[in-house]
Amino acid sequence: MSEASLEVDVAAGADATIGESPVWSARHERLLWIDITGTQLHVHDPAEGTSEVVTTPSSIGFLAEDPSGDLVLGLEDGLARLGADGKIERFAGAPHANPAFRFNDGKFDAHGRLWTGLMSREGKKLSGILYRFDPDGTWNVADTGFDLPNGLEWSRDGRTFYFTDSHKGEIYAYDFDAASGAIENRRLFFSMDPAEGKPDGLTRDAEGYLLSVLFDGSAIARLAPDGPLERLVPLPVPRPTSCAFGGDGRTLFVTTARIGLSDAQLEDASLSGSLLQLDYDDAVR
């Protein structure tokens, strides 16, 4: 296992409490990301080096793009689409009506099914749920018993689904049936001591490696397709949250958080809350 050393830059300066859910939209040629508790959607144009902020009607649990290019937000009371004019229009209710829970992270599979976790705001153990929202508008419970459901991704061949439980420091793998959307045969794919970093947002690179961003770990863990930690990519902030590749396939954008950090910690890690970027090819060279 190696540790990369590279330059990390600020793509967009911000003071996000919990920056999350970075999504590269090919349709808009923008990198979009959210501040969960700050009720903000950030839209970054890397070509111009500019950013815009859209205020949302409630906290946001995730931002995701469906296969057609539509952008979907997981709000407190349900799902909403972000229109080209910046308007937010709800189209589905949440699968719960309990304010003690909220969405956390979400992605669409290739067949247009939305996968998202439901987490306890109070950190109640084993209360987290993995949901699947199908194109016909139905919610389905895919799995249960998580402490803090988080990052999710699929293998390059589409036959394996990965799901993260941050508080346990674990990432699970499931057999995935692309035709039906069914998952089965849950097993442990990767684990680490949460005191050394909590696996958070998850994405996959072009070679099939998984990138798990380590909250309280100041790094991104690059995991081989069969599970071992291949390297750590260090970051200049203690609480990175998630990452996504830009349109060039080389620039990796990283969201970060300020929540829970002391004034002294923020002074030492002043980029906390900003959108960062790095050259991924340099990171794995």
Mean pLDDT is lowest, of 4-18, 141-155, 229-243, for 4-18
Give catalytic status of residue 45 as yes or no: no
Catalytic residue among 85, 147, 200, 226: 200
DSSP-assigned states of every residue in 67-119: TTS-EEEEETTEEEEE-TTS-EEEEEE-S---TTEEEEEEEE-TTS-EEEEEE
The CATH classification number of 2-283 equals 2.120.10.30
Q: What is the mean pLDDT of the chain?
A: 95
- As given in the structure block, the two tokens for residue 65 are 């793009």
Query: Band of the pLDDT at 5, cuts 50, 70, 90?
Result: low
Q: Where are the alpha helices (DSSP H) in 117-258?
A: none
Domain edges within the chain: 2-283
Q: Which H or E run contains 130?
A: strand 128-133
pLDDT tens across 71-118, in order?
999 999 899 999 878 889 999 999 987 888 899 999 999 999 999 999
| Antiparallel, parallel or unpaired: β 210-215 and 88-93 | unpaired
% helix / strand / coil in the chain, to the nearest 5? 5, 55, 40
DSSP state of 194: G
Those residues whose C-beta lies under 8 Å from the C-beta of residue 195, and which sit 6 or more positions away, are none
Query: How many CB atoms are located within 10 Å of the residue 178 CB?
Result: 15
Global pTM value: 0.96
